Amino acid sequence: MAEKRRVSCRDIPGRTREYETIFILKPDVTNEVIGATNSKIRGVLEAGGGTLLKIENWGRRKLAYEVKKQLKGIYIFFRYLGNPGLVEEVERNLHLTDSVIRQYSVKIGENVDPATRVSEVTDETFANASVPGPDEEAIATGQAGARPFGDEDEEGAFDFEEAVFGKVDEPTRRGD
């Protein structure tokens, strides 16, 4: 049986709706799982006749409250064009994905002319959405991208004393 396309009296023929979906993944998932989930949702969008406009990985963030025994999550943002039934299919697929702990979709606009909207998604931006940015706590403490215990010396070896006690120019002796 052919699938019936949902239409509304408010919809103008040849126009679509614009949606945003944010979903939260478990904080301990790998980049491969993130990439697979993103590819799955992209496939659902394309199969449903939608157009992916933007995808972003907002990184690992602290949740406002515990969700499915998780205190942190990896936030993924999708903006896309599609018909009314597409959003339900996207949310259904997210609900069936074990690594997703929460999803939320909103309608941004109605009767959007697809010709006026340009997709910002390239192969590179799609691949980058599989890699979460630094943890928000690391950003707040200034440790984003830094080593936890100091730096390597000129030979590339890690200097534990420098990490613990700081850099010392000259050893000092008592009585000098």
pLDDT value at residue 101: 96
Q: Is residue 1 part of a domain?
A: no
Distance between CA atoms of residues 166 and 173, nearest Å: 17
Does the pLDDT of residue 10 top 90, yes or no? no
Q: Are residues 156 and 95 in the same domain?
A: no
Asked if 24 and 63 count as a contact pair (C-beta separation under 8 A), the reply is yes
Nearest residue to 50 via CA among 103, 105, 132: 105
Q: Are residues 34 and 105 in the same domain?
A: yes
* Angle between helix 31-47 and helix 84-95 axes, rounded to 10 deg: 150
Does the pLDDT of residue 25 top 80, yes or no? yes
Q: Are residues 114 and 141 in the same domain?
A: no
pLDDT value at residue 126: 92
Q: Is residue 75 part of a domain?
A: yes
Q: Is residue 40 part of a domain?
A: yes
Q: How many domains does the chain have?
A: 2
Q: Is residue 70 part of a domain?
A: yes
pLDDT value at residue 140: 77
Q: Are residues 129 and 142 in the same domain?
A: no
pLDDT value at residue 139: 74
Q: Are residues 41 and 114 in the same domain?
A: yes
User: Residue for token digits 């080593």?
Assistant: 147
pLDDT value at residue 159: 47
pLDDT value at residue 135: 78
Q: Are residues 101 and 147 in the same domain?
A: no
pLDDT value at residue 8: 61
Q: Are residues 94 and 162 in the same domain?
A: no
Q: Are residues 57 and 125 in the same domain?
A: yes
Q: Is residue 121 part of a domain?
A: yes
Q: Are residues 118 and 139 in the same domain?
A: no
pLDDT value at residue 4: 56
Asked if 72 and 63 count as a contact pair (C-beta separation under 8 A), the reply is yes
Q: Are residues 140 and 129 in the same domain?
A: no
Distance between CA atoms of residues 19 and 8, nearest Å: 16
Asked if 128 and 56 count as a contact pair (C-beta separation under 8 A), the reply is no
Tokens of 83: 């018909």
Q: Is residue 143 part of a domain?
A: yes
State the residue range of the domain holding 29: 16-133
Mean pLDDT of the chain: 81
Q: For residue range 47-106, what is the model confidence (pLDDT) as tens digits?
A: 999 999 999 999 999 999 999 999 999 999 999 999 889 999 999 999 999 999 999 999
pLDDT value at residue 84: 82
| pTM beyond 0.75, yes or no | no
Question: Please, which residues bridge with residue 79 across strands?
Answer: 20, 54
Q: Are residues 74 and 61 in the same domain?
A: yes
